[in-house]
Structure 1
Amino acid sequence: MLTPASITRYKIPGDFWGGLASMLVALPASVAFGVTVYSAISPEYTVFGALAGILGAAALGIIAPTFGGTDRLISAPCAPAAAVLAAFAIELVQQGVAASSIVLLLTVLGMLTGVIQMFIGFMGAGKLIKYIPYTVVSGYMSGVGLIIIGSQIPRFVGAAPGVTWWRSLLAPQAWDTRSLVVGMTTVLVALLAPKITKAVPSTILGILAGLLAYLGLANSDASMLTLDNNPLVLGALNATSEGYIQTIMGRWQEIGELKLNQVATLTSGALTLAVLLSIDTLKTCVVIDQKNRTRHEPNRELLAQGLANMTASGLGGIPGAGTMGATMVNLSSGAQTRVSGIVEGMLTLVAGLLLGAYIAWIPVATLAGILIVVGWRMIDLEPMHFLESGATVFDFAVVFVVVGVALMVGLIAASASGVALSILLFVREQVGGSVVRRKTFVNQRSSTWCRPEAEMRLIAEKGDKAIIFELQGSLFFGTTYELYAQLEPEIKARDYVVLDMRWVQAVDMTAAHMLNLVRDTLRDRGATLMLSHVREQLPNGRNLVSFLTQTGLMGEGSGVRVFKTLEEAIEWIEDQLVGNVVQASAEEVPLRLAEMDLFQGRKDDTLADLEAMLQLRTVKAGEPVYRLGDTQRELYLIRRGTVRIMAPISGSRQSHHIASFGRGDFFGGLAFLDDGVRSDSAIASTDIDLFVLSLEQFNQLAEGHKKLALILMTAISRTLAQRLRHADGERTLLHV
């Protein structure tokens, strides 16, 4: 038996090794992301970028798992954060903003991002992020991947600072062969390593390969063995110097002097970044849930991530999210709890303090190569399959537009354009699809009430006076005209119009107003509008009953009849068509055998002999005549009252109402004929009087009164055939 102490001993080693392995993956990538952001300001800020990456990884690693609720999640600086911040820094540089001011604004942007994430979590909106369209996320991530690749090309080829990626590619004479060799070695090893071994993360192997390539080249170039004025390596970090602390303190003083309108200009960028980092985090949490059969708390996780990003930015680091790569390494290395994330953050801080001298020797081309690999892996090629079908070409267009806008305008505009296009496509799809699922007449359908043959003939003749529209999807301003176009000719010709709302997902005010017009038009003609399956709770959360009541379509004096199910509505119409007056069972006179439609045209003396052989039985309302699985072989003819037949559907244990039988009908014939167990239950709806014939009595009847037995079986067979023919007709109609 596991004791708390033994469980602790079991988890601690796994959490330590998981934290160590994930730190080895997260730290180099975090340094690379930091360098990407700060080198966009100026080459002199590259060292600050490496330090910002380390501090961001440490703060995120310690704070996020401490306050979060997802076990084994690793949080660190990530590609979306680097892309957004780098694009922001480049834009400010082009505007001529001073480098120190850009660093200050980056800090405020990161902190504001954390505040927005905390607000999203506090308001309980974490679950809403999953509704962002896949096409937008795919296009955005691909755009970020391409931006990262483009930003690293100058460093990869060793071009001069400030040169754009396309100019770097078009001027091979300006390439530094040393950077190109180191970068190519890094990329090749990082891409090919996973195909050879998964024991060591490919990021680590790529960095080691880049370092070895750099040292190999340094054997023939002594200038590569010094840190001073060496553009090929990061350079000294000076993480513990007073200069860095003074810089952070000075930055905080400057933040206090910012005006409200200056902070407000950062809001849109912070909102975009907060949503992206939240998506990245929650997507990773979903993967953890799938692998470990757990369930994360999205709002709690966003509160923790927001606090971590706010702290990381305040300390001079860069924000981030729950990252997939480091988290998967953490899982595969034996991590068990959130402690593994804290271990990763603490080891990152220790590594930054103790290994700063070694990190300083990491080649810039190596970090560029690692980020190029990261950017390549972020590109989602799945949307290319959208071009294979005309039904998904427009979805590909959304992805293409998002990527294009991200590259040519900016990431904020890309996300806005993607969401806008997705909304337009959704409206187009809703408008293009029919909201009428099926249109039938009452003589093509039937209620659960099994009626006598004469009544069925009458319903078949008059059934086209009542039409049924089964509606589906969203009834809103985009589909209202199409629905009215189908209703208009029918409301001028039918006495009863049934709108079945079972498959309706949403109803807006425009659709409700149109339905009021339909109701008024029918009422002026003396016709009736009927609604069925009006649910209290639609998928969008709206109470449809309250909404239609408030809009005047339903409620007292509206003139609209509302039924729980479509079968009940059809049953009511059938009663109107046959002119039946529902009579209380207590007032009904029990029928004799000769009075039943089943035996019309038979001689009274013959039927009198049959009636003498039948048992008389009375069953109180609510009591069973028989139940599912019973083995008695009896046929029941109803003299007075009604019976409901209940049976499970599609393997469900819950019984559903499938038929009703009234005065003059019979039931129980299947088990009587095939000698099987009961496949349904018969429950008395009212007090009922029955004629009962057991199988044993019938066998005796067949031996002594063959003509009586033939009369009975002929009558039963004819009625069952009629029921079967009608059921086959309905089934064929419903499958059209």
Structure 2
Amino acid sequence: APWLRNLRGDILGGITAAVVTIPVSMGYGLLALAPLGESFISTAILAGLYAPVLGCLVAVVLGANTTMIYSPRSVVTFLVGSFVLHSLVRSSVPALQTASPEMLLALAFLLIFLVGCFQALFGLLRLGTLMKYIPAPVIAGFQNAAAILIFCSQLDSMFGFKTPVPLTGIPASLELAQLLGARITKAIPPALLGLITGSALYSLFVLLGWGGHLGQLVGEIRVALPTPHFLAEFKDIFMSPQIAQVLPLLLTGAASLAIIASLDGLLCARLVEADTGKRVHSNGELVRLGVGNMAAASFGGIAVGINLASSFANHRAGARTPLSLLVHAAAVALAVVALLPLIGHLPRVLIGAMLVAVAIQLFDRWTLQILRKLVTGDFPSARSMLDLSIILAVAVAAIEMNIVIAVAIGVAATVMLFLFRMSKSVIRREYRCDAVHSRKTREPKLMKILSDHGAAILVLELEGPLFFGTAENLALYLESVRRQNVSYVILDLKRVSEIDSTGAKVLLHAHDCFTKEGRHLLLSSFPERTQLAAFLKDMGVTAALTRGRLFPDADRAIEWCEDHLIVSQEGSAESGDEFPFSRIEVLANMSETELAAMKRALRRHTYRKGDIVFREGESGDELYVIAQGSASVCLKLSGSERETRLITFSPGTVFGEVALLDRETRSATVKADEDAVCYVLTRPNFDKLTDEHPAIAVKFLSNLGRELSGRLRRANHTIYQLAS
């Protein structure tokens, strides 16, 4: 079996992870249920220890193929404790104000059960991929709120503020040695190192007779075989007459907590994935976390997540299969049975100090970096300051109000900020086509027309979503374009991620206005066979522009505009007859005698539409002159059936000259776009021409050089135009 191939590593990893999990899980249990009072300390510690046992067992049963450890997390535990304190213990709901502590405990576990239900539902509905859209400032706000409240809630147990015990802070300070534990030794987990050093000093003070100046011990913890007895209590709660008062509070709190817990779990899972190399399936993880929380709550355990410290310890100690999760669960369960008497003699101050250490490590580093810049005078950007304001708003709401309001404030603020940022201009770049031409080569006379009048063609490259927040800006810009000397407007949709109904209506309105004025609106990079294309069809955009104004790329759209512009200036873009031999650019400035010699050196070839003139990699040394029709160099895009045009050669232009000059293999494939006629100059004929008529050969090469330099000059001009 695969699990037996790495038996030693999985056993060692599971035990090592358990050593990391046990101390912090006890602290998390106290953090979650401490608001219920001193009488629930033993229950809280057991709740913290039951959680990793049940979380790991459920994960394996549900098919987890990972070494991630499912145990309590600080942020999630803080949110549970915050709900228990603000929404249960200090509730304004009459039914809760008169409820017994035992009933409040059952409601706390019911909350965790409902959180699990929501998480499992998120996974079954495949919402795991959507969780990443919860804004980072909202999560940072919860982290900082958790850190602040955890830190402040443990100051009394550390320093004895309510009941003065002056020496309490000394073992607490040694417990904080876990912050430096990783630097002192890697052989002992930092939390365990802190417990050992703090307990040793506490015992020393007791031996010296200073026990009265120290805080209390955890106390006796009684444990029996756990059963899912809370399920019966959940049923009683739902059958009680007061459920109508309590259920809305529980559902809203559970939904809000489930969102944060799910995102926290998925973020941690991604971090573990980067360390282990095992891929994480978001929706499956949500189901496992959800069912794990339902099981933990039924047995009296707190919520579980993906514990990073334990997961990293597990993998780095040699674990490679889910067997390590079973070993981890067994080790924690054994600790519950065998070590509870010893746990009962732990000073409470050490548990408090351990949670303070967790709180210090929990502070969001991004927030601290922004605050450090403010303090040092190195003021961060306006965007960072806006993010900081959301972080502070969420943190204050989580501390002063409750998690439901905090989530609502954070998400609402971030959505408004997103809309503000997205309302910037959707126009990424614009350029005129007097400098930037299509990839269709033309004779110099026509290129001169495009250089003189090409400014009437305007290309607007759009980027991002074209929705109600950006569509109005585009509409205003198109309105201003109508007051300029522009006859053709190409909207390039290559980088447009989304178009809503408002954006579609702006396109329709612009098309109507342009058409009435004799102008032309074209769409390039039109997304064929996509949801966006179907939406534009439903909105009537496709029908209004017609297929003749929709192009696969900007190059084809520019070519259409150039042809239309040439017709308006010249009367026709191209004649159907063969291009006059004497007007071919590479034969310029030649006499009738010289033209006759060139005609003898050239061979006439005809090609049908779709014929391959030559293929990439073929040997060949011929130069081609297009006399009629056209031919294109196309490149097939990897991963699709689409092709992109590199260049199109029209009558009077030359291609294949590189192979004639350097005698290397063909660098590209050329295909006839339509029935075409070419004059072909082979290398032997060129050599013969050079020997017999060297002056003609020199003229030919001079003309060819001028043609190539013209292409290079136009390319440089285009690059400058696009880069500016």
Where do 5+ consecutive residues of structure 1 fail to align?
Answer: 161-173
Cα 1:497–1:592 change in 2 (3 A) is closer
Q: Does 1:402 align with 2:394?
A: yes
- Aligned length, in residue pairs: 702
Name 1:501's counterpart in structure 2: 493
What amino acid is aligned across from residue 108 of structure 2 in structure 1?
A: L
Show CA shifts across 1:603-652 (max 9, x none): 333211220122233344333322323442221112233211235899x9
CA distance in 2, matches of 1:672, 1:548: 48
Secondary structure at the residue paired with 1:660?
strand
Name 2:312's counterpart in structure 1: 328
Name 1:116's counterpart in structure 2: 118
Name 2:84's counterpart in structure 1: 89
**How far 1:400 sits from its partner (Å)?**
2.6
CA distance in 2, matches of 1:246, 1:118: 19
Cα 1:252–1:644 change in 2 (3 A) is closer
Query: Relative to structure 2, which stretch is displaced further, 109-118 or 497-506?
Result: 497-506
Name 1:14's counterpart in structure 2: 9
Secondary structure at the residue paired with 2:679?
strand
Confirm or deny: 8 A CA contact 1:55 1:315 kept in the other structure.
Answer: yes
Name 1:181's counterpart in structure 2: 170
Confirm or deny: 8 A CA contact 2:106 2:230 kept in the other structure.
Answer: no
Show CA shifts across 1:493-544 (max 9, x none): 432221111111222222222221111111111222111112248xxxx722
Name 2:507's counterpart in structure 1: 515
Name 1:67's counterpart in structure 2: 62
Show CA shifts across 1:131-165 (max 9, x none): 222222222212212111111111112344xxxxx
Q: Does 1:106 align with 2:97?
A: no
Query: Relative to structure 2, which stretch is displaced further, 446-455 or 353-362?
Result: 353-362
Where do 5+ consecutive residues of structure 2 fail to align?
Answer: 92-96, 374-378
**How far 1:677 sits from its partner (Å)?**
4.0
Name 2:262's counterpart in structure 1: 278
Q: Does 1:571 align with 2:559?
A: yes
Task: Find 2:626's aligned residue among 638, 653, 672.
Answer: 638
Secondary structure at the residue paired with 1:335?
coil
Cα 1:557–1:276 change in 2 (3 A) is closer
Confirm or deny: 8 A CA contact 1:469 1:498 kept in the other structure.
Answer: yes
Confirm or deny: 8 A CA contact 2:566 2:573 kept in the other structure.
Answer: no
Task: Find 1:678's aligned residue among 666, 678, 682.
Answer: 666
CA distance in 2, matches of 1:444, 1:322: 57
CA distance in 1, matches of 2:327, 2:248: 37
Q: Does 1:429 align with 2:421?
A: yes
Show CA shifts across 1:97-144 (max 9, x none): 532221121011011001001100110111111222222222221221
Cα 1:520–1:589 change in 2 (3 A) is closer
Show CA shifts across 1:290-314 (max 9, x none): 1222211111111111111011111
CA distance in 2, matches of 1:518, 1:73: 55
What amino acid is aligned across from residue 294 of structure 2 in structure 1?
A: M
Query: Relative to structure 2, which stretch is displaced further, 18-27 or 412-421?
Result: 412-421
Name 1:294's counterpart in structure 2: 278
- TM-score of the superposed pair, with normalisation by structure 2: 0.91
Q: Residues 348-387 of structure 1 correspond to what in structure 2 (within 5 A)?
A: 348-386=332-370, 387=373
What amino acid is aligned across from residue 373 of structure 1 in structure 2?
A: A
CA distance in 1, matches of 2:674, 2:388: 61
What amino acid is aligned across from residue 82 of structure 1 in structure 2?
A: T
Name 1:251's counterpart in structure 2: 233
CA distance in 1, matches of 2:308, 2:564: 65
Cα 1:498–1:217 change in 2 (3 A) is same
Confirm or deny: 8 A CA contact 1:68 1:300 kept in the other structure.
Answer: no
**How far 1:246 sits from its partner (Å)?**
11
**How far 1:223 sits from its partner (Å)?**
6.3
Show CA shifts across 1:318-344 (max 9, x none): 112111111111111111111211221
What amino acid is aligned across from residue 173 of structure 2 in structure 1?
A: M
Secondary structure at the residue paired with 2:542?
coil
**How far 1:681 sits from its partner (Å)?**
2.2
Cα 1:404–1:520 change in 2 (3 A) is same
Name 2:94's counterpart in structure 1: none
Confirm or deny: 8 A CA contact 2:25 2:48 kept in the other structure.
Answer: yes
Query: Relative to structure 2, which stretch is displaced further, 676-685 or 636-645?
Result: 676-685
Q: Residues 18-167 of structure 1 correspond to what in structure 2 (within 5 A)?
A: 18-91=13-86, 92-95=88-91, 96-97=97-98, 98-160=100-162
Name 1:265's counterpart in structure 2: 249
Task: Find 2:481's aligned residue among 484, 487, 490.
Answer: 490
Confirm or deny: 8 A CA contact 2:604 2:679 kept in the other structure.
Answer: yes
Confirm or deny: 8 A CA contact 2:205 2:211 kept in the other structure.
Answer: no
CA distance in 2, matches of 1:454, 1:647: 29
Task: Find 2:437's aligned residue among 437, 446, 463.
Answer: 446
Name 2:412's counterpart in structure 1: 420
Confirm or deny: 8 A CA contact 2:11 2:324 kept in the other structure.
Answer: yes
Name 2:403's counterpart in structure 1: 411
Query: Relative to structure 2, which stretch is displaced further, 51-60 or 106-115?
Result: 51-60
The alignment-based identity, stated in percent, is 25
Cα 1:640–1:680 change in 2 (3 A) is same
Cα 1:34–1:558 change in 2 (3 A) is same
Name 2:694's counterpart in structure 1: 706
Cα 1:727–1:247 change in 2 (3 A) is closer
Cα 1:560–1:399 change in 2 (3 A) is farther
Show CA shifts across 1:250-302 (max 9, x none): 73463343425522221121112212222232222212221222211111111
Query: Relative to structure 2, which stretch is displaced further, 351-360 or 103-112?
Result: 351-360
CA distance in 1, matches of 2:275, 2:199: 35
- TM-score of the superposed pair, with normalisation by structure 1: 0.89
Cα 1:490–1:423 change in 2 (3 A) is same
Secondary structure at the residue paired with 2:423?
helix
Name 2:376's counterpart in structure 1: none
CA distance in 1, matches of 2:301, 2:128: 25
Cα 1:119–1:76 change in 2 (3 A) is same
What amino acid is aligned across from residue 512 of structure 2 in structure 1?
A: D
Name 1:726's counterpart in structure 2: 714
CA distance in 2, matches of 1:384, 1:38: 29
Secondary structure at the residue paired with 1:232?
coil
Secondary structure at the residue paired with 2:188?
coil
Cα 1:629–1:557 change in 2 (3 A) is closer
What amino acid is aligned across from residue 416 of structure 2 in structure 1?
A: L
Name 2:597's counterpart in structure 1: 609
CA distance in 2, matches of 1:694, 1:560: 40
**How far 1:703 sits from its partner (Å)?**
2.4
Task: Find 2:469's aligned residue among 469, 472, 478.
Answer: 478
CA distance in 1, matches of 2:353, 2:215: 16
CA distance in 2, matches of 1:389, 1:439: 31
CA distance in 2, matches of 1:462, 1:195: 72
* Aligned-pair Cα RMSD in Å: 2.8
CA distance in 1, matches of 2:387, 2:662: 56
**How far 1:560 sits from its partner (Å)?**
7.4
CA distance in 2, matches of 1:418, 1:332: 37
Cα 1:107–1:653 change in 2 (3 A) is closer
Show CA shifts across 1:156-200 (max 9, x none): 12344xxxxxxxxxxxxx43124322211211x212211011121
CA distance in 2, matches of 1:335, 1:672: 64
CA distance in 1, matches of 2:625, 2:232: 96
**How far 1:210 sits from its partner (Å)?**
1.9
